[in-house]
Amino acid sequence: MENTVLEISSHVSEPTEKGIDEIEFLISPNLGEAPRPLAKIASGGELSRIILALKSVLTLENYSKTLVFDEIDAGIGGRAASNVGEKLARLAGDHQVFCVTHLPQIALHADHHYLLTKRESRNRTVIEIARLEKEARVQELARMLAGEAMTKGTLEHARELLRAKRPRAGK
């Protein structure tokens, strides 16, 4: 999001039941591109990251105390994912944050880590939720890093990520 440009275009129109203002967010997610309507070009992950950026800089007293981010990890990895994880952790200092992620760089910042799994039962999809504690969390972070081919090295890497995460103020 470092090179993303966000512009807001507005104008007054005829009054409707929704008011008289019309606002359009324009975004240039890549350097050198002209800003285009956010609603037309942003993926679910981009929308989540833009909301995260806005909520990180705006006064949050006027916002809900529960924030939900889904697909915030779409199309990112590495350093960008670590930055998103750290920003989510800062927001969690004053808000309840729910985040669905597939990236260990984001998941390791959670105060509470849950694993959601889907299975079929009686021709229906059932979602099971399990809170991960200690070694189960290490195992899941290692699986997120390496898929099903976990090794001792992958498990140690997961442990190291948890040890190295920066503590959040107030925690």
What pLDDT, in 10s, does the model give residues 95-110?
888 999 999 999 999 9
In a domain, 170, yes or no: no
137 pLDDT band, cuts 50/70/90, is very high
Per-residue model confidence (pLDDT) at position 8: 54
* CA dist 80 → 3, 96, 100 (Å): 12, 22, 16
In a domain, 2, yes or no: yes
Are residues 86 and 130 located together in one domain of the fold? no
> Does the global pTM surpass 0.95?
no
Are residues 106 and 52 located together in one domain of the fold? yes
Are residues 86 and 36 located together in one domain of the fold? no
Are residues 38 and 58 located together in one domain of the fold? no
Per-residue model confidence (pLDDT) at position 12: 57
Question: Is the pLDDT at 63 greater than 50, yes or no?
Answer: yes
Question: Is the pLDDT at 167 greater than 70, yes or no?
Answer: no
In a domain, 107, yes or no: yes
113-121 and 124-132 strand pairing = antiparallel
Per-residue model confidence (pLDDT) at position 1: 47
Least confident of 43-57, 91-105, 155-169: 43-57
Rounded distance between C-alpha atoms, residue 94 and residue 89, angstroms = 10
> Total domain count for the chain?
3
Are residues 126 and 150 located together in one domain of the fold? yes
Per-residue model confidence (pLDDT) at position 52: 72
Domain boundary among 68, 89, 111: 111
SS3 call for 48: helix
* Owning domain of residue 125: 113-164
